[in-house]
């Protein structure tokens, strides 16, 4: 299936599921599980959350990940600093990329904001293939990130 259609189906399913709870952790866990199991090029999918100016792992699916990311390095911190999606076609070409799992080859990070517009953390997806992510992924992942705090 074309990836845009797949994301649209997943978003419809998430809207339905999110009526059961406004809790952001429950929603992030649900997003991670659904995306990871429905999209075949996803190798790792989850959230890193800002706590006391550190990025700490949140709900995720996939191989074991770093619990905390070295301050101000790597793709997730770039997403926090720039407050926009970061698409990395080849992680080996990204200066100071943090490899939690050597098999990751490409990556996308999108910021997650609180209802007040503060940065809350990032959604991060890794693929074990090069150049898996494009503007379509960025667009739909941003829409999903906005749903974490949306009132149902």
Report the nearest approach of ligand SME to the CB of residue 130 (Å): 15
Residue 43 interacts with ligand SME (CB under 6 A): yes or no: no
Size of the site for ligand SME (CB under 6 A): 14
Report the nearest approach of ligand SME to the CB of residue 105 (Å): 11
> Which among 19-27, 35-43, 94-102, 112-120 is the span making contact with ligand SME, rule CB under 6 A?
94-102
The contacts of residue 112 (CB under 8 Å, 6+ apart) are: 47, 119, 120, 121, 122, 123, 145, 148
> Which among 66-74, 112-120, 130-138, 144-152 is the span making contact with ligand SME, rule CB under 6 A?
66-74
Residue 80 interacts with ligand SME (CB under 6 A): yes or no: no
Residue 124 interacts with ligand SME (CB under 6 A): yes or no: yes
The terminus-to-terminus CA distance of the chain in angstroms comes to: 29
Task: Using CB positions, name the residue nearest to ligand SME.
Answer: 74
Rounded Cα gap, residues 138 and 135, in angstroms: 5
Residue 100 interacts with ligand SME (CB under 6 A): yes or no: yes
Rounded Cα gap, residues 84 and 86, in angstroms: 7
Rounded Cα gap, residues 55 and 49, in angstroms: 5
> Measured over all CA atoms, what is the biggest interatomic distance in the chain, rounded to whole angstroms?
42
């Amino acid at each position: 299936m074309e990836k845009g259609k797949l994301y649209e189906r997943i978003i419809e399913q998430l809207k339905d599921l999110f009526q059961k709870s406004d809790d952001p952790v429950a929603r992030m866990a649900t997003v991670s599980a659904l995306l990871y199991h429905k999209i075949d090029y996803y190798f790792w999918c989850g959230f890193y959350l800002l706590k006391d100016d550190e990025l700490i792992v949140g709900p995720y699916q996939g191989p074991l990940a770093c619990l905390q990311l070295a301050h101000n390095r790597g793709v997730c911190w770039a997403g926090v600093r720039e407050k926009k999606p970061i698409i990395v076609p080849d992680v080996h070409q990204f200066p100071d990329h943090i490899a939690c799992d050597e098999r990751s080859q490409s990556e996308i990070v999108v910021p997650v904001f609180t209802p007040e517009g503060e940065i809350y953390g990032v959604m991060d997806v890794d693929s074990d293939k090069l150049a898996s992510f494009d503007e379509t992924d960025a667009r739909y992942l941003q829409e999903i990130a906005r749903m974490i705090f949306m009132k149902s």
